[in-house]
Amino acid sequence: MLNDQKVSYSGVQPSGNLTIGNYLGAIKNFATYSEQYKCFYCVVDSHAITVRQVPAELRRRTYETLALYMACGLDPEKNTLYVQSHVPMHTELAWILNCYSMFGELSRMTQFKDKSEKHADNINAGLFTYPVLMAADILLYQTDIVPVGIDQKQHVELCRNIATRFNQLFPDTFTIPEPIISKSGMKIMSLAEPTKKMSKSDENTNAVVYILDDKDTIIRKFKRAVTDSDTAVRFAEGKDGINNLMTIYSCFTGKTLPEIEREFDGKGYGDFKMAVGEACADALAPVQEKFRQILADKAYLEEVMKKGADEASYYARKTISKVKRKVGFVI
């Protein structure tokens, strides 16, 4: 809570191109909170460097991610949109929280285990304490809700544990946040291996639909999507590929699964895949158009970043001062 208003907070990493999984699972829903909540949406560049980045690309993607937030309907007048490294209180609080986070609990984070396997040559300390920085992001703004994809739920749970522990030692410091997992946060899976999450870092680009893919590419990718040897469009156990396509179609059209089964009754997978591709491309077209317009105006983006960082700093400063006082620093 900030000044009697509930707070929504989320972040997106400016690494890799964003996928329809990021869009449907998280970003698309951010705009729905603007009326009821004070909203902070952050481009988390400090998180991104836990794996190696090409500096020029990281910088470019930071602008792109901000532009994408806006293209997805986040108005910078109604939401605080900013870049994590512009507000140094994030890393300040992260250090303090590191001293109240346990090695054991961080070792249990599945994302850490996955990323350590994937980047076995670079298991750095930042990768390990990544969730503590994320907890700092959230707790700095006395956040009530955190809209995220299901893969981030464990990190938000950890954040709650850290905050609860801290509050037991130092009462009334942090609001305890709730994760909000969108209905479609049922994971969007890879089109090539539908038992695996669709991941922006997948090497097989046919497995992944990016928010900025053009219509032909989108349709081609859906046409190639792995399905099964059955022929009926129905949502059922063991039909991971079809289940995933039905979920995607449902998210883009608002149709329910039974409605989709009825719509494609007696039709084959070919027709269905085509329809999913069309629905996806049509839904993304206006987002892409807006994205291009916004990205073309770098000065405007920089203005938005600056204003967002000023707004965020105002609130972050209050929390960090309180925390420093509580832990016994001279301030």
Dihedrals phi, psi of 232, to nearest 5 degrees: -90, 135
CB nearer to ligand TRP: give 13 or 85.
13
Q: What residues contact residue 84 under an 8 Å CB cut-off, 6+ apart?
A: 11, 42, 43, 44, 45, 46, 47, 90, 137
User: Which residue's CB comes closest to ligand TRP?
Assistant: 11
| Residue that is written with structure tokens 């054991």 in the block | 104
Q: Rounded to whole angstroms, how far apart are CA atoms 222 and 208? A: 9
Q: Which range in 131-139, 162-170, 239-247, 281-289 contacts ligand TRP by CB under 6 A?
A: 131-139
Q: Residue 197 catalytic?
A: yes
Least gap, CB of 8 to ligand TRP (angstroms): 10
Q: Is 134 in the site for ligand TRP (CB under 6 A)?
A: yes
Q: What residues contact residue 75 under an 8 Å CB cut-off, 6+ apart?
A: 34
Q: Which range in 8-16, 189-197, 258-266, 313-321 contacts ligand TRP by CB under 6 A?
A: 8-16
Least gap, CB of 62 to ligand TRP (angstroms): 14
Least gap, CB of 284 to ligand TRP (angstroms): 20
Q: Is 10 in the site for ligand TRP (CB under 6 A)?
A: yes
Q: Which range in 148-156, 249-257, 262-270, 285-293 contacts ligand TRP by CB under 6 A?
A: 148-156
Per residue, the 3-state secondary structure of 52-104, as one string, reads CCCHHHHHHHHHHHHHHHHHCCCCCCCEEEEEHHHCCHHHHHHHHHHCCCCHH
Q: Is 65 in the site for ligand TRP (CB under 6 A)?
A: no
Is residue 254 classed as helix, strand or coil in its secondary structure? Answer: coil
Q: Is 146 in the site for ligand TRP (CB under 6 A)?
A: yes
Q: Rounded to whole angstroms, how far apart are CA atoms 221 and 199? A: 15
State the number of binding residues for ligand TRP (CB under 6 A).
13
Q: Is 47 in the site for ligand TRP (CB under 6 A)?
A: yes
* 288 in Cβ contact with 296 (< 8 Å): no
CB nearer to ligand TRP: give 134 or 245.
134
CA-to-CA dists, residue 58 to 17, 49, 99, angstroms: 11, 9, 29
CB nearer to ligand TRP: give 153 or 234.
153
Q: Rounded to whole angstroms, how far apart are CA atoms 222 and 224? A: 5
Using CB under 6 A, which of 13, 129, 182, 253 touches ligand TRP? 13
CB nearer to ligand TRP: give 178 or 259.
178
Least gap, CB of 41 to ligand TRP (angstroms): 9
Least gap, CB of 18 to ligand TRP (angstroms): 10
Is residue 180 classed as helix, strand or coil in its secondary structure? Answer: strand
> Which one of 28, 38, 115, 221 is the catalytic residue?
115
Residue 272: closest CA among 299, 234, 233: 233
Q: Is 29 in the site for ligand TRP (CB under 6 A)?
A: no
CB nearer to ligand TRP: give 14 or 241.
14
Q: Residue 115 catalytic?
A: yes
The encoded tokens of residue 44 equal 């988390």
Q: Residue 78 catalytic?
A: no
β-partners of residue 214 are none
Cβ-based neighbour number of residue 169 at 10 Å:
10
Least gap, CB of 329 to ligand TRP (angstroms): 24
The residues that are catalytic are 115, 197, 200
The footprint of ligand TRP (CB under 6 A) covers 9-11, 13, 44, 47, 134, 137-138, 146, 148, 152, 155
